[in-house]
Each structure stands twice: as structure tokens, then as C-alpha cells.
A = this chain, B = another copy of it.
Amino acid sequence: MSAIEALKWRYATKKMNGEPVSQDKVDQIIVAAHLAPTSSGLQPYKIIVVTNPELKEKIKAVAYGQSQITDCSHLLIFAAWENYTEENIRAVFARTHQERGLPGDSNSDYVNNLVANYTARSEEENFTHAAKQAYIGFGVAITEAAFLKVDATPMEGFQAAALDELLGLKDLGLRSTTLLPLGYRDAAGDWLVNLKKVRTPLNDFVIEFK
């Protein structure tokens, strides 16, 4: 098996047709992202799933009117921790140790070091780091959607602060990083669907040290 054919099939869908994606497929896309690795296994982000039509309209208004936000069936929003805190970090390891049947104070040097390192950094630095972890899961979700022949549009073009306000993310200690509308292409109305997928030439993308 390989992801290559699925990745060739996908494209950043510009026009969706409103057809619903089955909950089963949405769940698979989320589960794939949920399995993606993150730094120290902290999983410092969440996926927000929006199906409410009125809310999608409001989100479109803070996302430059991009039609996929209302024409998609499920809008995924990847939202990262606004900061790493001692509480958050210790909670992850408490659960991990419990699920692995290890004593609660296992790897305490490692955990203490993580807490010391993260809490010494600025909130902005920590948010950026958490956001990068979300991008790993974002890549995995995009790949899984392509396997399932679900169209998706990776989006960074939105007013993050306005979206955070709209969803009350501050109260959850989160900040939005990316959007991923899931749906089905409206091939007749999509200017991009028939254009060739272009990438950096492979020999320019790769540098070898043999």
C-alpha cells in the first residue's frame, strides 16, 4: 500500500457541491489525525468539527468568504494549545503511565525536564510549537481524506483571532491554526480541478549527502 495515488488524486478543492460526507468517513479522517505523532506524545491540539449551518456562515465571514466553508459537509478546525503548562503536560503523562500500567511517577526526570523546558519558553513560542504538531495531524487528515475519496481544502486564509472569538477558544486554552472543509467537488464549478498539479521538480526538492 502507498499514499501516492491518493495524493495525486486530491487537490485543494475550490468549489464543493454540498453533498454530505458520511459520519463514518469523517470519523476515519479524525481517527487518522488522532493517531499522528506529536512531540513527546503531548498531542497539544484538538479538532473542532462544525456542521451547524449558521455557524459555518459566520466562519465564512471571517475567512474571506471562501465558499467551501458553507458548501462543505463537515468543517474541521485544527486548534492548538495556546501554551504548554505544567498541568497539561503532567496530565498527559499521568494518563500515559496509567494506560501503560506504569507507576504514576515513572520517567519523572524526563517529565520534569519537559515541564521545565516548556514553561521557560514564551507563550508565543509554545503556541508555535503546538501549532506545528497540529500540522502533522493536518497532513495525515488530508491524506486519509484522499484515501476515502473525500475532497478537502487545506486553508490558512482566515482571521484566526476572530474565529477564536467566535468559537470561544480562548476559554478552552486553544487557538485556531488551520481549516479543513470536507465535502465533494463540484467539478463543473471548480476552476482548479482540471489544472495540472505542479510541484517543485523532484531533483530540486531533494538534496543528497552520500
| A interface with B by C-beta (< 8 Å) | 1-4, 6-8, 10, 12, 28, 30-32, 34-37, 39, 41, 43, 46-52, 55, 92, 95-96, 99-100, 128, 131-133, 135-140, 142-144, 147-148, 154, 156, 167, 172, 195-200, 202, 204-210
Kindly list chain B residues whose C-beta atoms are within 8 Å of the C-beta of A206. 30, 46-49
B132–A46 touching, CB < 8 Å: no
Which DSSP category, helix, strand, loop or mixed, fits chain A's interface?
Answer: helix
Sorted nearest first, the 7 A-B pairs with minimum C-beta distance are A139-B139, A135-B135, A7-B35, A136-B139, A96-B198, A50-B209, A48-B207
Task: Please give me the residue from chain B that is nearest to A152 by CB atom.
Answer: B37
Of the candidates A7, A48, A137, the one having the most CB atoms from chain B within 10 angstroms of its own CB is: A7
User: What is the CB-to-nearest-CB distance from A190 to chain B, in angstroms, rounded to a whole number?
Assistant: 15
Kindly list chain B residues whose C-beta atoms are within 8 Å of the C-beta of A37. 10, 12, 142, 154
* 14 CB < 8 A contacts A-B: A2-B32, A7-B32, A7-B140, A10-B37, A30-B206, A34-B202, A39-B156, A46-B207, A47-B207, A51-B210, A95-B200, A135-B138, A136-B136, A139-B139
Contact pick for A2, options B28, B36, B138, B198, CB 8 Å: B28
A17-B32 Cα distance, complex, nearest whole Å: 28
Q: How many copies does the complex hold?
A: 2
In the complex where A34-B200, A37-B12 touch, is A1 in contact with B6 (Cβ < 8 A)? yes
A47-B204 Cα distance, complex, nearest whole Å: 9
User: What is the CB-to-nearest-CB distance from A75 to chain B, in angstroms, rounded to a whole number?
Assistant: 9
User: What is the CB-to-nearest-CB distance from A101 to chain B, in angstroms, rounded to a whole number?
Assistant: 8
Kindly list chain B residues whose C-beta atoms are within 8 Å of the C-beta of A92. 200
Kindly list chain B residues whose C-beta atoms are within 8 Å of the C-beta of A30. 202, 205-206
In the complex where A32-B7, A49-B207, A49-B209 touch, is A139 in contact with B135 (Cβ < 8 A)? yes
Task: Please give me the residue from chain B that is nearest to A167 by CB atom.
Answer: B209
A72-B162 Cα distance, complex, nearest whole Å: 45
User: What is the CB-to-nearest-CB distance from A150 to chain B, in angstroms, rounded to a whole number?
Assistant: 11
